[in-house]
Amino acid sequence: MKISQVCCIGAGYVGGPTMAVIAHECPDIFVYVVDDDKEKIKAWNSQNLNDLPIYEPGLKKIIKKTRNKNLIFSTDTDKAILDSQIIFLAVNTPTKLKGQGKGFAADLTNIENCAKRIARISKSNKIVVEKSTLPVRTAEKIKEVLKSKNKKIKFEVLSNPEFLAEGTAIEDLYKSDRVLIGGENSPSGKEAIEKLVNIYKRWIPEKKILRTNVWSSELSKLASNAMLAQRISSINSLSALCEQTGASISELSKAVGLDKRIGSEFLSTSVGFGGSCFQKDILNLVYLCKVYGLKEVAEFWHQVVKINDYQKKRFTKQILKTFGNSVVGIEILILGWAYKKNTNDSRESASIYVSTDLLEKGAILSIYDPMVKKERIKLDLKMVLEKRKNDKPQVKKNTQ
């Protein structure tokens, strides 16, 4: 099977940048990025590159070079599936809001729908690649769906989790610490792995490409995110102790980080981690541990999320204390709405939690973020704003 076309289902923070880089590095391969969200695809195709649906440093330059040459953004998912030899799945996998595992397990509806669609549409053999972060053993379920719905076609399922961080996505994609490709230990499984290796090899040194079994690859992604989030919660928990004892958290971070066994990354204290991944992935890990009867392990990781919630609440409490325990009518300026710099993503941003808390307690907020649109901020605060609908204006403006 010669790889002349690949497609990616899901044109979000992972699908968009990842496929743009593949298109840029593989000019002989057609790369289709498809999504059910028409508005998002329209934004990816907008003439003005400032209107792309996501902001990432360096992304506009690559899009300018590749879009409508060998990089196509489209809503025609069926055609993209039909014509591609490799299909990447980069759809969102949020925490389940109902049913078994509610509040912890990853909701795999989008993944299941993709698998059903691929099975229904495919007329030739396909390699299906999990890019989304998924619980360990999901590949098995995807394969089951594919096989049961289409008996004529041979499907190989690979796990190739994405380690990019928003805000540095393009740099991360070019200078990945490692690329993990998990596949079945069968001749066709190994062949599929090599097809994907051949794509990454164009710009990633081969020693950084790890071939593993599917389960290790799936679990490595959850484990990496859990370890990173754990460092943030560790330093944040110590910031509370510093405030009580007169120690300085920045001096502590520096002193601890200089120990080369620990290292300095992910040791800056903050109002708490945000973003769509850390909390969701740790909760998913907690759920997995519970399913396998590992209660203590589940509790250990759950504490990482609990400390994060504590840190966000602690921050609002400090503000309240400063104003004699009441912020009614107090005007407060919030600078920064995205969950971190260099992204327009506000999912799970600490700003949402802090602002909601402050609005509930009667404060008047002015909010500014150069990357996040006013409509997004209003949506993020929808519930609390509705509750206070009859009061005086609460969110004054975003100066954008």
Binding to ligand NAI by residue 83, rule CB under 6 A? no
| Contact pick of 166, 172, 357, 380 for ligand NAI (by CB under 6 A) | 166
Binding to ligand NAI by residue 128, rule CB under 6 A? no
| Contact pick of 5, 66, 84, 110 for ligand NAI (by CB under 6 A) | 110
| Contact pick of 113, 168, 216, 366 for ligand NAI (by CB under 6 A) | 113
| Contact pick of 19, 25, 40, 66 for ligand NAI (by CB under 6 A) | 40
Binding to ligand NAI by residue 13, rule CB under 6 A? yes
Q: Could you tell me the two tokens for 202?
A: 């164009």
Cα(27)–Cα(69) distance, integer angstroms: 9
Q: Which residues pair with 46 in a beta bridge?
A: none
Output 303-306 pairs: Cβ under 8 A, ≥24 positions apart: 303/233, 304/226, 304/229, 304/230, 304/233, 305/229, 305/233, 305/279
CB atoms within 10 A of CB 297: 15
Output 12 or 182, the one with its CB closest to ligand NAI: 12
Task: Pick the piece of the chain touching ligand NAI (CB under 6 A) from 11-19, 136-144, 193-201, 367-375.
Answer: 11-19
| Contact pick of 5, 84, 92, 220 for ligand NAI (by CB under 6 A) | 92
For the bound state, the minimum distance from the C-beta of residue 34 to ligand NAI, rounded and expressed in Å, comes to 6
Q: Quick check: is 277 catalytic? A: yes
| Contact pick of 31, 52, 91, 228 for ligand NAI (by CB under 6 A) | 91
Output 168 or 213, the one with its CB closest to ligand NAI: 168
For the bound state, the minimum distance from the C-beta of residue 44 to ligand NAI, rounded and expressed in Å, comes to 10
For the bound state, the minimum distance from the C-beta of residue 48 to ligand NAI, rounded and expressed in Å, comes to 20
Cα(67)–Cα(252) distance, integer angstroms: 47
CB atoms within 10 A of CB 177: 8
Residues 6+ apart with CB under 8 A from 16: 33, 44, 52, 53, 54, 59
| Contact pick of 222, 277, 363, 377 for ligand NAI (by CB under 6 A) | 277
Task: Using only the alpha carbons of the chain, give its radius of gyration.
Answer: 23
In the set 8, 26, 277, 289, the catalytic residue is: 277
CB 281 within 8 A of CB 133: yes
| Contact pick of 6, 8, 9, 157 for ligand NAI (by CB under 6 A) | 9
For the bound state, the minimum distance from the C-beta of residue 334 to ligand NAI, rounded and expressed in Å, comes to 23
CB 87 within 8 A of CB 126: yes
Tell me 266's DSSP state. T
For the bound state, the minimum distance from the C-beta of residue 215 to ligand NAI, rounded and expressed in Å, comes to 17
Closest CA to 311 of 275, 276, 269: 269
Tell me 117's DSSP state. H
Residues 6+ apart with CB under 8 A from 191: 156
Output 13 or 73, the one with its CB closest to ligand NAI: 13
Binding to ligand NAI by residue 158, rule CB under 6 A? no
Task: Pick the piece of the chain touching ligand NAI (CB under 6 A) from 139-147, 160-168, 229-237, 374-382.
Answer: 160-168
Binding to ligand NAI by residue 164, rule CB under 6 A? yes
| Contact pick of 95, 176, 217, 276 for ligand NAI (by CB under 6 A) | 276
CB 346 within 8 A of CB 372: yes
CB atoms within 10 A of CB 97: 8
Positions touching ligand NAI (CB under 6 A) are: 9-15, 35-37, 40, 77, 90-93, 110, 113-114, 132-133, 162, 164, 166, 276-277
Q: Which residues are catalytic?
A: 277
